[in-house]
Amino acid sequence: MLRPPTRLLNKNSTALRGQGGGGMPKPLEFWGVAHPPPNRKGRGNIADLSAAEISTTNMGRHGGTDVLVEHDHGSKVGSVRTSWEASDGSLHVAGVINDPEAAANVRAGKMRGLSLGTSVIQDMSGNALLRSQDEISICVEPRRAGCFINRIDGQKVRSVGVFSNARSGE
């Protein structure tokens, strides 16, 4: 199982060179939830991932999964560097957004949703044979509940409070 990174870029990273004096703005590093824990009652739709699929997903392979804006394949703005299964069973990701306009929208809170682009290969009866994550998009509102960027440049930007007695152990 993959673990969350401590840092995606270091001071010698090529993505950080050339800042200031008219150089490229600093890339945005993000962490977030790409897929909620699997529904215990079954899939909501054919693209929802099972616990086994979440635990084996590696969105950092082959140079990283593309980060797009609203699933537009003409607008690649960054890449996912790693993914891991969180303790609650959800799929978390860490990545970098290099596009200045997209980074500004995320920093401003305009686009902090995450939407996983999943392809499903089916048999002739409609049963899923293979699910793969083609991309992840930043978006205004994610379709899956709880799928948001929760850290930007190491700073927590989203938190969730749980106040039910069932969750608190009372």
Query: Between 1 and 71, whose confidence is greater?
Result: 71
> What confidence score (pLDDT) does residue 4 get?
60
Per-residue confidence at 16, pLDDT binned at 50, 70, 90?
very low
- Greater pLDDT, 80 or 159: 80
Cβ neighbours of residue 67 under 8 Å, at least 6 residues apart?
76, 77, 78, 79, 80, 95, 96, 97, 135, 136, 137, 138
Q: Would you say residue 81 has pLDDT above 80? A: yes
Range 84-95 average pLDDT? 96
Q: For 56-71, what is each residue's pLDDT tens digit?
A: 999 998 889 999 999 9
Q: Across the strands, what pairs with 52?
A: none
Tens digits of residue pLDDT in 111-138: 999 999 999 999 999 999 999 999 999 9
Give me the domains of the chain, ranges plus CATH numbers: 26-153 (3.20.16.10)
Question: pLDDT: is 24 or 145 the higher one?
Answer: 145
CA atoms within a 13 Å half-sphere pointing along the CA-CB vector of 90:
16
The pLDDT assigned to 7 comes to 53
Which of the four pLDDT bands, split at 50, 70 and 90, describes residue 97?
Answer: very high
Mean pLDDT over 15-31 rounds to 66
Residue 152 pLDDT more than 80? yes
Question: What's the pLDDT band for 147 if we cut at 50, 70, 90?
Answer: very high
Contact (CB, 8 A) for 142 and 25: no
C-alpha R_g of the chain: 17
Residue 67 and residue 45 in contact, taking contact as beta carbons nearer than 8 Å: no
Question: Which stretches within 78-145 are classed as H helix?
Answer: 100-107
